[in-house]
Amino acid sequence: MAWHLDDYDLDAFTDLAARFGHHGYAYMVTPNVDHLIRLHEDAGFRALYADAGFVLLDSRFLSHLLRLTRGTDLPVCAGSDLVARLFAEVVHPDDPLVLIGGPDEQARLLESRYGLQQLVHYNPPMGFIHDPDAVEDCLRFIETHSPFRFCLLAIGSPQQEIIARHLQQRGRARGLALCIGAAVHFITGTQTRAPRWMQRSGFEWAYRLMQEPDRLARRYLLRGPRVFGLLRRTDVVLRQANASARALAPAGSDAAQPSPVAPR
């Protein structure tokens, strides 16, 4: 299986996201170990990734593993780091923002912490992705508040990727959609991240396991180790840029120059 990743680290993608604008639409996904396993198992999930405008490696564990086993040095742009950087350096108080997922209290914390004046929030019901009417309600909420600077899809995988792709297929939304999982929990302080040394060493997963053993033990201890075998059947293709970046980045910028390579 070919696994396509975009060649953006945190600094590079923050710069691109800041320049994305309201004239087009694309969505960003952030693969980790669990996502890589799904990509091997689920053709539908592969389709969600194939249509994504940006595929950014979220896992320092995978980055370290590929460096050790293949000598491949891949850039990491963790979703939680990206969201923190965007709110610290890019988002302005009057930017139109859409947050999907999480309780109202968390949305208000985000609004208060960053002085946001145009944040709108919608929390779809549990299991909504299996109800066509509930999915339609979510899509219409987002489209009604388009164009947006960023749409933060914080409803877990694959729900957030499904919604992002639906928005692309319908062609009504404008702005950059970010599939961010639990990132808002971290920047609002409702959950704590691992110490920096654990993040850098690729063991943030162990910290999360200690925090939520009942929920994450199966994922990390039973399912996760399958990645070692699957990586042997994975060709990692690092893309310099993609169609969304070339179309929306200013002419002559580095992001507008495609140069795919296949590290091994």
- Report the pLDDT averaged over residues 22-27: 94
Domain ranges of the chain: 2-256
Positive or negative torsion for Cα 221, 223, 224, 225: positive
User: What average pLDDT does the structure give for the chain?
Assistant: 89
Average pLDDT of the residues in 239-252: 54
Tokens of 206: 């162990």
Q: Which amino acid is at 178?
A: L
Question: Which spans in 101-211 are helix H?
Answer: 104-114, 132-144, 159-170, 183-188, 196-201, 204-211
What mean pLDDT do residues 158-170 have?
Answer: 98
**Nearest CA to 86 among 4, 18, 167, 139?**
18
For residue 179, give the amino acid letter. C
Nearest in space to 193 (alpha carbons), one of 185, 157, 201: 185
User: Encoding tokens for residue 99?
Assistant: 């947050």
Q: Per mean pLDDT, which range of 7-21, 48-62, 221-235, 244-258 is the poorest?
A: 244-258
pLDDT at 217: 85
- Cα–Cα distance for residue pair 261/264, rounded to 1 Å: 10
pLDDT value of residue 254: 43
Between residues 122 and 189, the one the model is more confident about: 122
The residue-averaged pLDDT of 226-237 equals 90
Does residue 225 have a cis bond before it (omega within 30 degrees)?
A: no
Strand partners, 177: 27, 151
Q: Which H or E run includes 29?
A: strand 25-29
Output the pLDDT for position 243. 47
Give residue-wise pLDDT tens across range 135-162.
999 999 999 999 999 999 999 999 999 9
248 pLDDT band (50/70/90 cuts)?
low
Q: What confidence score (pLDDT) does residue 242 get? A: 53
Rounded (10°) angle between helices 33-41 and 43-50: 120
**pLDDT tens-digit readout, 56-92:** 999 999 999 999 988 888 999 999 999 999 999 999 9
The tokens 């086993």 sit on which residue? 69
